[in-house]
Structure 1
Amino acid sequence: MNMEKHNSSLVVELLYPDLVINVGEVTLGEGNRNKLQKSQREQEKVKVIQAACALLNSGGGVIRLEMANKDERPMEMGLDLEQSLRALIQSSDLQTFFETKQQRRCFYIFVKSWSSDLFPEDSSVRPRICSLETSLYCRSGTSVLLMDSREAFSFLKTKKRDAKILGKEPSGKVLKVRHQNSYNSNPADPIFQKDQLEYGEILPFPESQFIEFKQFSTKHIQQRVKDIISVYIPAFANTGGGYLFIGVDDKSKKVLGCAKENVDRDSLTEKIEKAIYELPCVHFCQSQCQVNFKVRILDVLARGELYGYACVIRVKPFCCAVFSETPSSWMVKGKNVCSLTTKEWVDMMMDSDPDLQWLCKDFESQLSLSSGPPLSRPVYAKKGLEHKKDLQQLLFPVPPGHLQYTPESLWKELSAQHEGLEELIEKQMRPFSQGILILSGSWAVDLNLQEKQGVICDALLIAQNSTPILCTILREKDADGQCYCTRTAFTVKQKLVNMGGYTGKLCVRTKVLHLSPESHAESLAGSGSSIDYPGSYNLADTQQMEALLQSLVIVLLSFRSFLSDQLGCEVLNLLTAQQYEIFSKNLRKNRELFIHGLPGSGKTIMAMKITEKIRNTFHCEADKILYICENQPLRNFISNKNICQAVTRKTFMKHNLEKIQHIIIEEAQNFRTEDGEWYEKAKTITQRQKNSPGILWIFLDYFQTSHVVHSGLPPFSAQLSKEELTRVVRNADPIANYVQEVMQVIIKNPPLNIPHESLEILLEAEWAQGVQGTLKIKKNLTLEQTVTYVAETCNRLFERGYSPKDVAVLVSTTEYVERYKHELLRALRKKRVQLSDACDMLGDHMVLDSVRRFSGLERNIVFGIHPRTPESAILRNILVCLASRAKQRLYILWHGDC
């Protein structure tokens, strides 16, 4: 099918909580479509197929057609449209992805999201996206074959694997050896070397895997040549190379050429070369070369006179993949249906879970790209923590035989504050016998959208024998209420599929209600979409409800893993239930909060997530939110996220910061008061607006205190609003056990500047178990022995797949850093390893810095050298800070003078 390659004219309608593409008028019914002119039938088909492909690749949705037929009788789609949809999904079972429904003259095609587990019979052949045509050709005997999605996936997978194996070795050289018989010893090569042929001459070889004969057309010669080239050159390039003869009859093998009056030799050469250079190429290797070819225009003589010309093109094997044109595949981007570029198509087609061989023992997959929708990302949970199923059962359990409201505390609070709300909601819930109603102060904020004023609450209903329903309850009638609810429900649906990985049929209906101040009665502000979805979109049983709720867990609890920067692709991790409980707090009712978190409990992640929530709750820009920490490296790390302003405590005390409304503070136990009372200043800033004070959340861990002076924090008893993070998620088992031992010592003899009652948090600690790791402690080492040990250990780890960006070397004080830098560089010079301080955490180098300056950061491998501080009273605290920075491997190296 000849499909347009540029962006489609189709536009997504914005009136529904789903992707709805209106393709305009389409003639339906087999008989009616047969009466259409071919061009009109094809034009209508193109619109429907583009819309269907775009929705399959974008999370699913609805195609809306207006029947061109004048009557409103029930009508089938038409055989040609059905066949095109079957070709699109490469399946005879249309109902797997498509259902239809007619409402008067509106005809709807309901489209489920594409899922790469469509081919369960072969898990190794699972194209990630849906495509009408791949535009990838290959040779098979004397034929040229267009690869389908599965064949293209296997072909590209092989090319990508070969490129990885070849590494930096020049791919052309390897391929030349591998395929030398395809052209150097080919019987066509002597003919290729000639300057002329005789008209009617029979070539002494047939067509084969590496030889193709084609004849010129009698008219439109250059277009004919271009069409031949766009198919046969990629096919040869993708399959060992070969020779394309144009001007030779494929049956008789006679040289016929093209009469000189009908073709210009130079113009023909130029057109051929231009056509080949325009072929889309995609590389997996380091080379960015184009197709390697040579064109020869041979004179064709008749009785010694020039009759015309024949053309021979020699094509060498291509290192990666050559396409005839851009693949036929579409997606929804914003409001438009757009064609994927060749690179986008290959990137999405080949998208796969990252290679976590060196981490697989630490993480377990929660959502794999091998079975997820096209836009989903891989999700991993740390071993020893709750998986998505555990989190779903804990946070959103489906009760047997009744409807449950959750969180119960929020339901009681809302019912007490808003008279008539309980009656209103329970009236709406009467038709539903089993499921869960998930309440929120703002589902928009939960989904990283902006909050709407006047919303009492949102409630997401997941019930048996019903589609999900999002209810928005307003204080009073609001013309924008339905728009808000529709936009929020749309985001719920899109994220459940494209982020949560839900692969079932899904829609989210909307309902907008308000409490009348006079009568507390219900008033329906709008019922949302008027589209009547098929019954298959209802959740049939507990299993389907739980599957959807597990996708919801990923949507609400996932965050961009710090692994993403190391791997070069986005990877998601999940919050713990404890972290989510704090994160989901109502910010307006928790404006000041002290969060005490044990080492490795995820305070930095929480600080970043809360920053995003502040922006959406209070409709403020990043320059209104301030993140404060003690050390420059942690400040740089947060600043690179571009979610807020980030400063150190010293900078904070120097400036007025008039724009700031909200403040997040991390590692507060290490703050000091030498530059002034930072806590009082932060509190003054966040309370400037008396009627609407800002947020002041302070994260701290007294166990990691790195000094013996006053921190400036209010007394522990004066920290009236407190929460605790006691689930430790970072460290491997041996490291976690060591940290526990050191913390027990601290409790027995705490430094004078640490409130003893604050250390009782250790009694509530939970440690994630089951993660293997390494802890080694070496004593009585000289400086030379220490450096040698670090270098030799690093070399062994690099050979096992680790890289310099996995390693941090931390010393007890800043003055030791320069002392070790020169020696370490000299010991690692063969590996060409670079050293940098912690200010540049994202670079591909080892970090060398002090324990204090690495506070709040982490790496897989940590060497702690001479972890001794002049303040011997906090030696154990420094050890806790050091050890907790290591995720997998910890090496503590003591000097002989310790």
Structure 2
Amino acid sequence: MEECNSSLVVESSYPDLVINVGGVNLGDGNRKMLQETQREQEKARVTQAVCALLNSGGGVIRMEMANKDECLVELGQDLEQSLRDLIESLDLQAFFEFKQQRRRFYIFVKSWSSEDNFVKPRICSLSSSLYCRSGTSALPMDSREAFDFLRKRKAKILGKKSSSEVLSVINQNLNNSDPADLVFQKGHLEHGEILPFPKSQSVEFKQCTEENIQDYVATIIPQYVSAFANFGGGYLFIGVDDMSRKVLGCAKENIDRSSLESIVAKAIATLPVVHFCSSEPGVQYSTKIIDVFKGGELYGYLYVIKVEPFCCAVFSKDPKSWMVNDKDIRSLKAKEWVGMMTDPNPVPPSLSSCLIKLAEAFESQLSLSHRPPLCRPVYSKKGLEHKADLQRHLFPVASDHLRYTPESLWKELFSEHEGLEELINRQMRPFSQGILIFSRSWAVDLNLQEKEGVICDALLIAQNSPPILYTILRKLEAGGQDYCTRKAFTLKQKLVNMGGYTGKVCVVAKVLCLSPESSAECVEGAVSPIHYPRSYSLADTQQMEALLQALVIVLLGFRSFLSDQLHCEVLNLLTVEQYELFSKNLCENRELFVHGLPGSGKTIMAMNIMEKVRNVFHCGTDRILYICENQPLRNFKDICQVTTRKAFMKNSFDFKNIQHIIIDEAQNFRTEDGDWYGKAKTMTQRANPCPGILWIFLDYFQTSHLSCSGLPPLSGQYPRAKLTRVVRNAEPIANYLQREMQVIRHNPPHNIPPRFLGMISEVEWAQGVQGSLKIETNLPIQAMFTYVADTCKCHFRKGYSEKDVAVLVSTTAEVERYKHDLLRALRKKRIMQLSDACDMLGDHIVLDSVRRFSGLERNIVFGIHPRTPESAILHNILVCLASRAIQHLYIL
């Protein structure tokens, strides 16, 4: 493995990735005077650092001029050529700009992005470490050749079912009638004998000129075994004259047969291999030591390695490619490198159900084809706003003036802090077009911890300026600039590596201090110790909007439940309504009742709010409690303590450190074990005069009982917020929900406040999402099970899987009553897996009650004989059932 040079230092005092490569001699004249070893060492340091930045979102290379020149110098032709080789382009300016400040020299590196995914690899490398056979030579593949080879090999493999089928599509020249194989089968040859075949695509000759044949063989194995394995297999004959084909052998006194076999086995076993197929074998090979006689006596040995075709990819060693990881620069292993190199699509074709779900229910908001290497895919539900629409709604750029946003926040801030408006206006005088985005804390917006003493933050996106992040402090204090720098660094990295921005970008960190006595400005530290080239300023409205669209993904992106199915990170976007709820000032909304309609994303919001609580109040997971009614929801939380309502009421000692409580699906809570609301409120208010957070999410339309819920009366649920944008369900299911909700509205159960039901008039439905709704009546119970099995089998033929399906019944007693018969019907269709909702992430069909599945979702939902002893809430149960289905709903 190519280790990273230990003299490279990632510096943490800048709002950007900055790598200090130390002293470097610059200028052609100076570099030509260096010894070759020193010149190559300096070049290696520079290219490793540049490669790491290209693959990590861009940044700055800082070097000290080791030569004594006082005047301006150029980088040097050999260094420039190494950069051209790295990006495989003559256009250095597309990715690099150079600047000298006294005796420091800077290389400004833009993040790598591929212009055409089918031509250009997704990451940069100094060497692929992959070899190919070209005629009679073993040649290293450059990045483009490696990318093309891997892409084509992967496409072939993914169309096959087994490694044997894979090998059948790879050109094989190795068979028993091959003359090379006939020689391989022999036990002895004569010295000087001419082999009856030449060097070729599958045959290589090497002479034994070294005394230490073991070391020589170990040296040549990586490139030749890699080349043969990747291109149809072949034979490596060691002891044959390259030109004449004469058998010369290796002198017997120079060979230790057992040692040679051991060295070869070790050398081949350590070659990195990467599989695209389901099999995991290493390189398959066999060896032969053939006696070579001269004048009737044993002279030596001909050593032959027969390399079988390899199904996937064999490397000579790990590729030479680097990334920045926190404060370290690490080299990529072959498997990670291949994954980043070739696959802009995060979904393996084997997970075809996920592909169907993405295609039918989601729209791509960020294609990885032309994006920086660390980007993750971003999707939103169909029928919702595109990131460009979200940007125009949240962060519009005026053509003729500088806009302050959000209006309610900056007016509130200006009224709270005397002198703040004057301070901000004075800072904005040089800028005539753009947008200034205020936040109580950009740190919290970026998932960082908030700092006390900060009045607010403001991000300036303006024409003819780089982005500037202002932090306004109440008073000047130590650490203010470092805090602002860390936020600016995080924002820059996320704009590129999460938001997918492909232009040249930096974020300037600037601290302002507002003195209440004098309203005076106080700037701590310089704007930036590194002065970026003018190309890092935003030139026009188009560039500003592109950057703001990346910002939309940074601010509205959250980890999708799809990530657990796809086994990779996938982001979804909040709606404007959800983002406005998420943006609420927690200090002014310590208690909040969130009324959300079915499928409006209440559980998603609960998870995001808990993340925000952790950052605003600097608390660990032991201080935040998530309470839900049903056990399965507990499996989704890893940022807090989690419990059910029953456990919360029974155990007080377990929650003695809790300061903040989030309650989900509260409409289904009951008072049978006591006053849960009173207990939660007491716990969150015990830290007077600064009580904790108590947010309660509920939807009366999904009430599943007629008992007292323990919630305050509607008039006492204040302050409150609403979620009326339904984003989960396909259009036929959404239409069914609307009809059932209207029935509830006109004839509500006695324990639902009638005033709440007026929310249905405010509902917005995502349009155009394909799906299906089928209601089958008068089916005997066994016929229902057969219907489920047949329909599942039909969906599975289309690419869905067991983990897409939930079968919901009315009660937990029915789960036990129906489980055996349903499983028997499924097994007749060779569907073997069935479990309850507590194992939601497993590869099986879920069978559970409607109540226990509340707050969860699956693509395909069957409701078997939905009913309830309390007829007054039947339509509520149907709403709860239907809202669980994303695409296909069957009510039997």
Is the pair's TM-score, using the shorter chain for normalization, greater than 0.5?
A: yes
Q: Distance in 2 between matches of 1:99 and 1:571?
A: 33
Instruction: Specify which of 93, 108, 113 is matched with residue 111 of structure 2.
Output: 113
Indicate whether 1:202 and 2:194 are aligned.
Answer: yes
Number of equivalenced pairs: 882
3-state SS, counterpart of residue 838 of structure 2 = coil
What residue number does 1:31 align with?
Answer: 29
Task: Tell me which residue corresponds to 2:832.
Answer: 833
Distance 2:838 2:714 in 1: 32
Paired residue for 1:484? 483
Q: What do the CA deviations read for 1:517-539 (whole angstroms, capped 9, x no partner)?
A: 32110011122531111111110
**Equivalents in 1 of 2:210, 2:334: separation in Å?**
33
Q: Report if aligned partners of 2:172, 2:309 keep a CA contact under 8 Å in 1.
A: no
Residue aligning to 2:131: 137
Query: What is aligned with 1:526?
Result: 525
SS at match of 2:393: helix
Measure the CA separation in 2 of the matches of 1:799 and 1:892: 21
Distance of 2:2 and 2:169 partners within structure 1: 40
Which secondary structure state, in structure 2, belongs to the residue aligned with residue 448 of structure 1?
A: coil
Give me the whole-angstrom Cα distance separating, in 2, the residues matched to 1:178 and 1:472.
60
Distance 1:113 1:479, change over 3 A: same
Amino acid of the residue matched to residue 154 of structure 2?
K
Instruction: Give the deviation of 1:220 after TM superposition.
Output: 5.0
Aligned to 2:149: 155
SS state at 1:492 partner: helix
C-alpha separation between the residues in 2 aligned to 1:45 and 1:183? 47
Q: What is the match of residue 880 of structure 1?
A: 879
What secondary structure does 2:840 align onto?
coil
Alpha-carbon distance, 1:179 to partner: 4.8
Report the Cα offset of residue 215 of structure 1. 1.6
Q: Any conservation in 1 of the 2:170–2:231 contact (CA below 8 Å)?
A: no
- Which of these residues, 267, 277, 297, is aligned with residue 269 of structure 2? 277
Asked if structure 1 preserves the Cα contact closer than 8 Å seen for 2:10 and 2:327, the reply is yes
What does 1:840-851 align with in structure 2 at a 5 Å threshold? Answer: 840-851=839-850
- What pairs up with 1:504-515 in 2 under 5 angstroms? 504-515=503-514
Indicate yes or no: 2:325 matched with 1:333. yes
Hey, what's the Cα distance between the residues in 2 that align with 1:833 and 1:389?
45
Task: Give the corresponding residue for 2:445.
Answer: 446
Note if 1:647 corresponds to 2:638. Answer: no
- Any idea what the Cα deviations from partners look like across 1:390-422, whole Å, max 9, x if unmatched? 000000011111111111111011101111111
Task: Give the gaps of 5 or more residues in structure 1.
Answer: 894-898
Q: In the aligned structure 2, how far is the partner of 1:222 from the partner of 1:105?
A: 50
Partner residue of 2:298? Answer: 306
Counterpart-to-counterpart distance in 2, 1:174 and 1:422: 68
Separation in 2, partners of 1:90, 1:797? 46
* Structure 2 spans left out of the alignment, 5+ residues: none
Q: Give the SS at the match of 1:839.
A: helix
- 1:896 aligned residue: none
Aligned-pair CA distance for 1:709: 1.6
Q: 1:672-683, aligned counterparts within 5 Å?
A: 672-683=670-681
Q: Distance in 2 between matches of 1:618 and 1:195?
A: 78
Kept after mapping to 2: 8 A contact 1:804/1:833: no
Amino acid in the other structure paired with 1:101: K
The amino acid across from 2:131 in the alignment is Y
What is aligned with 1:559? 558
* Aligned-partner Cα distance in 2 for 1:225–1:72: 51
TM-score (norm 2): 0.97
- Paired with 2:310 and 2:669, the residues of 1 have a C-alpha distance of 60
Matches within 5 A, 1:808-819: 808-819=806-817
Structure 2 residue matching 1:780: 3-state secondary structure: coil
In 2, Cα distance between the equivalents of 1:475 and 1:800?
61
The CA deviation at 1:72 is: 2.1
Give me the whole-angstrom Cα distance separating, in 2, the residues matched to 1:116 and 1:226: 37
Equivalence for 1:464:
463
Deviations 1:296-316 (A, max 9, x none): 122222212222222111111
Deviation for aligned residue 1:692 = 1.0
Code of the residue aligned with 1:448 in structure 2: it is N
> Given the alignment, which residue of 765, 780, 783 partners 2:763?
765
> Which whole-Å CA distance do the structure 2 matches of 1:285 and 1:778 have between them?
42
In structure 2, the residue matched to 1:779 is 777
Q: Match for residue 285 of structure 2?
A: 293
Give the partner amino acid of 1:680. Answer: G
- Once residues 124 and 361 of structure 1 are traced to their aligned partners in structure 2, the CA distance between those partners, rounded to angstroms, is 25
Q: Which of these residues, 119, 124, 127, is aligned with residue 125 of structure 1?
A: 119
Q: Show the 5 A alignment for 1:179-328.
A: 179=171, 181-219=173-211, 221-328=213-320
Q: Which moved more, 1:213-222 or 1:52-61?
A: 213-222
Letter in 2 for 1:593: L
Residue 6 (structure 1) shift: 5.3
- In 2: Cα distance, 1:276 partner to 1:64 partner: 40
2:139 partner amino acid: L
CA-CA distance at 1:333 after TM superposition: 0.8
2:852 counterpart SS class: helix
What letter is aligned with 1:743? Answer: M
Deviation of 1:265 (Å): 2.9
Q: Verify the 8 A CA contact 2:173 2:202 in the aligned structure 1.
A: no
Cα shift at 1:189: 1.2
TM-aligned CA distance change 1:68 to 1:711, over 3 Å? same
Q: Does 1:165 align with 2:159?
A: yes
Alpha-carbon contact 1:15-1:529 (below 8 Å) kept: no
Instruction: Single out whichever of 260-269 and 674-683 deviates more from structure 2.
Output: 260-269
Distance, in Å, in 2 between the alignment partners of 1:383 and 1:42 is 53
* Partners of 1:410 and 1:102 in 2: CA distance: 42
SS where residue 839 of structure 2 aligns?
coil
Q: Is the 8 A contact 2:166 2:311 kept in 1?
A: no
1:622 aligned to 2:621? yes
Instruction: Write the distance in 1 (CA, Å) between the matches of 2:488 and 2:209.
Output: 57
Q: State how far apart, in whole Å, the 2-side matches of 1:17 and 1:890 are.
A: 50
Report what 2:589 is aligned to.
Answer: 590
In the alignment, which of 730, 733, 737 is matched to residue 732 of structure 1? 730
User: Is the CA contact (8 Å cut-off) linking 2:170 and 2:309 kept in structure 1?
Assistant: no
Is the contact made by 1:502 and 1:551 (CA closer than 8 Å) also made in structure 2? Answer: yes
CA distance in 1, matches of 2:708, 2:417: 45
Query: Which piece of structure 1 moves more, 6-15 or 361-370?
Result: 6-15
Equivalent residue, structure 2, for 1:358: 356
Letter in 1 for 2:119: V
CA apart distance, 1:342: 1.4
Q: CA deviation at 1:348?
A: 1.5
Q: CA RMSD in A?
A: 1.4
Q: State the distance in 2 between where 1:566 and 1:273 align.
A: 39
| Cα displacement (A) at 1:240 | 0.5
Structure-2 change in CA distance of 1:715 and 1:173 (3 Å): closer
User: Deviation per CA, 1:496-554, whole angstroms, max 9, x where unpaired?
Assistant: 00000111101001110101232110011122531111111110000000000000000
Q: In structure 2, how many angstroms separate the alpha carbons of the residues matched to 1:30 and 1:526?
A: 37
Shift of 1:267: 2.3
How far residue 174 of structure 1 moved from its aligned partner, in angstroms, is 5.7
Q: What is the CA–CA distance in structure 2 between the aligned matches of 1:545 and 1:179, rounded to whole Å? A: 51
Cα contact 2:171–2:231 (8 A) shared by 1: no
After the TM superposition, which residues 400-411 of structure 1 pair with which residues of structure 2 at under 5 Å, given as runs? 400-411=399-410
Separation of aligned partners in 2, 1:159 and 1:520: 66
Paired amino acid for 2:96: F
Shift of 1:467: 0.4
| 606-615 or 3-12: bigger deviation | 3-12
The alpha-carbon deviation at position 177 of structure 1 amounts to 8.4
Query: Which letter maps to 2:264?
Result: I
8 Å contact from structure 1 (residues 512, 527) kept in 2: no
Shift of 1:214: 1.3
Contact 2:173 2:234 in 1 (8 A): no
Task: Select between 825-834 and 27-36 the one with higher mean Cα deviation.
Answer: 825-834
For the residues of structure 1 that align with 2:164 and 2:888, how far apart are their CA atoms?
A: 41
Identical amino acids, percent of aligned pairs: 71
Q: What secondary structure does 1:523 align onto?
A: strand
Deviates more, 1:831-840 or 1:819-828: 831-840
Query: 196-205 or 45-54: which moved more?
Result: 196-205
Deviates more, 1:859-868 or 1:192-201: 192-201
